[in-house]
Structure 1
Amino acid sequence: MPKNGLDFEKPLLELEEKINELKQFMQEKDIDLTEEIETLRNKSNRLKKQIFSELEPWQILKLARHAERPTTLDYIELICDDFIEFHGDRNYGDDQALIGGIAKIDSLPLTIIGHQKGKSTKDNINRNFGMAHPEGYRKALRLMKQAEKFNRPILALVNTPGAYPGIEAEERGQAEAIARNMMEMARLEVPIIVVITGEGGSGGALGIGVGDKIMMLEHTYYSVCSPEACAAILWKDSAEAKTAAEALKLTAEDLLDLGVIDEIVSEPLGGAHRDFEESANLLKEAILTNLQEIQNLSIPEMLEKRYDKFRRIGEYIEHSRIEATSNE
């Protein structure tokens, strides 16, 4: 049971607490309460299905930000048979907000990069809450180019509120680092799988977000900016963030309908934070299935499909001046 419940989870958490209390009482007093516990457990399952089948965008965003969601290192530990982390961009330093290295999944060697949030306040400060500096994106690019050299597929796990917006990050070329990564990822001659595992915020997500397959876990978001920032810009009031969350179309279902992502990876009922192992198993299956599909393509076919995929995102209408004048 999660330590920190969200507001819409409270009825469910209260039921789960009652179940735990009955279990403890049964052990202490040696009284058979199996039937009562089973009744409450069935009620809990029904309530869980009801709550998580009717989530609003704002509630999904809260789940994506949940402090107890699995991190990149959690998924690596559960999915990979082996992992060696590499450090530094060979230029400025090492960024703990964006990690990477070589791993094996079922004997398949690949390079993994991903944003890393902390587990505690101190850890979050060290990890900068998953907001990478330019050296983080340059480290990621170094590892991706290395993957291309040794013909290893790339797995990118995205979970960031955005790239770090501080003065020092801008001084070291934040925009250039992200833009260069996007350009280079578009032409890397190895398969690239991108998965949004929590927050997919703005350029911070795009810096490792170009790939052959873009997937999102069920309760995550992917957006040009946070709802709070959008509300502050459009309504001059961050209290309108809930309205902004609906308007931004940032959920996995919205983005699948719009053609921005390719697949939604299911989470355990109640969210990934409730069952790390099940969430990791579902993610592992999706990764291996999609990698096999991409690896069946030749390099020219793979690059062409990758290019076409991003060219198809979005729609626009050309309206010439002459037409506009004649209509007037």
Structure 2
Amino acid sequence: MTDHDAAPSSGASSELPMGQWLYALSEDNGLAPNGRPGKTFKPVRPLNDKEYEKLGNAIQSVTNIIQGFMVYVHQALKDLHESLQDVVSDPSNISGDVNGYRIKLEYRMLNVCAAIRMYEEHTYSEIDRKYGADSSQRTAAKSVFNQTYDRSLEYRILYYLRNAITHGSRNLMSFVFNASVDQNGSHVLDLRLPLQRHRFSNSNAKATVRQEVRLLPQDPDTLSMCFTVLPVMEALNQQLMPILEPDGMDSVITLAHLINEAASAGGYPALGSVDLFSLTPGGQEDTVEVPVSMELLPEPVRDFIAAVINGTQS
């Protein structure tokens, strides 16, 4: 059973035409058990075949961007976060195997470094495949990478840390773990993998980056850098989107209009096909069985569109 808003009429039966429709879904007593937004829906307007196909292509285009090379960065950070949560949930876990946890955290951190390098390599490979190695698109992408490199020290360090360790530089990080209990009985943890400046300065990383690290006031924590570099990578991905997916911005704009249209109707956008969906308004909202196939706009797509639109407006 699904509640739905029907415009009051003189009492005559009103039937929605069969076909594809745009719906606005809104929350009804909070989120549904599956966590997806909305139970109550309102038909907004029918969609012709051409428009429905355009919306489907736009969703697929944005999904391709979201699930592109950034997926490895997100997965590496998720794995690192889960390893850290193992310690936070029970600090005693680490006491019996300090070295084992150190190796595990170093491994997770290095996966983040590898994902950062792999993102660049995959991007160039995709551009070369689409446009050629001597294309203007490759030149434009290189400029975006260079700007990101110049702006973020965390990006520069993690970019070359993976190379330094891969090519033989060892014991570049120390391991700091202190656990205590404050006056309120809460655990206070200090867990870090500091990059030792004197060791890194003697590694085979790029000389300018080694000099930057050497001049830092203290050893930088590689664990913290892994998470602070995420918005840098997301901004980089957004800048590369018009090159990797030239129709991507058109797709974002198309779906942004869809989101706004559903919001104006009081809900979250969904596309659905109507099958024998008949309404009988009687001056009040009715509760009816709804044989309708419905597909919500994926939340990652919505969030990505919001980030792009907000980024272009700032």
Instruction: Mark yes or no: TM-score above 0.5.
Output: no
If the length of structure 2 is used for normalisation, what is the TM-score? 0.22
Is the radius of gyration larger for structure 1 or structure 2?
2
If the length of structure 1 is used for normalisation, what is the TM-score? 0.21
Relative CO higher for 1 or 2, CA cutoff 8 Å, sep ≥ 6?
2
